[in-house]
Structures are given as C-alpha cells and as structure tokens.
C-alpha cells in the first residue's frame, strides 16, 4: 500500500495563483503527511540525503498512465521518494542526470504551478488505486 508519508515534493518558487493554491490545499487535506517544500534552488545533496529515489518532472521524461504510475511507486517498496519541480526555466540538465527518473505528466507543456497541482492529484490517485478506493475509475 502506498503511503503519502514516503513522498516529498521539492518545488522552486511559491504558488502565486490563489486558485491553484486552493486546489493543492484540497489534496493536502486528504494527504496531510505529504510534504511540500518550496525552495529558491535545488540542493541535490540535501534532497538526496532525505530520499532514496529522486524523480524530476520534465516534459521530455517518461510518461505513465495512472495505474502504471501507482505500480512504479509501489515497486520502490518502502523507499522515500522526492519529486523535483522546477520554476519557469525547468530543471537543469545536471540535476536531471543525477536523478533516478525523469517523469513527464503529459506531452503538453504546463506552467510549473499547474504541474505541482497535477502531480499532487496523481499522487492522490496512486494512493487511491493502491487502496482500492473508488476515486480512480478505470
């Protein structure tokens, strides 16, 4: 079973749009153990020391459907997973090279604030799938 206390989101910048922040807060109420760190820059050494798996979000990454994403998370067993979301400039290539996986949420390009909301929704969906919750209807 997937648990949100193993997952941390590291995002550069703060959410400025209130409606995106409201959406994120709705999912945070459902997953209070999920940690979201808003940073000025990534310090991969600090992030790596707290997490076993590092996943960068980028449009050129690998795409999964929701069930496949849940399976991927479950395959990491009890390891902690850190998700990196860049700002408008994305994530530098040197950080991507040091990550364990580059994940694309879609072939479309989204603003980084929306990407954060989409990732949180997919995390919630993956948890729901692992718990056989009716939230995900396939």
To the nearest 10°, report the CA torsion of 134, 65, 23, 31. 60
Beta bridge partners of 36: 9
Lookup: tokens for 71: 């399976």
The pLDDT tens digits of the residues spanning 35-55 come to 999 999 998 888 888 889 999
**Closest by Cα among 9, 13, 15 to 87:** 13
Angle at alpha carbon of residue 28, lines to 25 and 32, rounded to 5°: 145
The pLDDT tens digits of the residues spanning 73-132 come to 999 988 999 999 999 888 999 999 999 999 999 998 889 999 999 999 999 999 999 999
φ and ψ at 103, to 5 degrees? -110, 135
**pTM of structure:** 0.94
């Amino acid at each position: 079973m997937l648990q949100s206390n193993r997952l941390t989101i590291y995002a550069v910048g703060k959410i400025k749009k209130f409606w995106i922040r409201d959406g994120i807060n709705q999912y945070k109420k459902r997953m209070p153990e999920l940690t979201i760190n808003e940073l000025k820059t990534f310090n991969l050494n600090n992030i790596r020391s707290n997490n076993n798996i590092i996943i960068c979000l980028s449009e050129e990454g690998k795409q999964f459907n929701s069930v496949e994403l849940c399976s991927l998370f479950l395959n990491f067993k009890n390891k902690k997973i850190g998700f990196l979301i860049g700002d408008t400039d994305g994530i530098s290539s040197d950080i991507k090279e040091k990550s364990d996986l580059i994940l694309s949420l879609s072939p479309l390009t989204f603003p980084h604030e929306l990407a954060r909301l989409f990732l949180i929704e997919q995390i919630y969906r993956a948890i729901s799938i692992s718990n056989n919750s009716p939230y995900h209807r396939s």
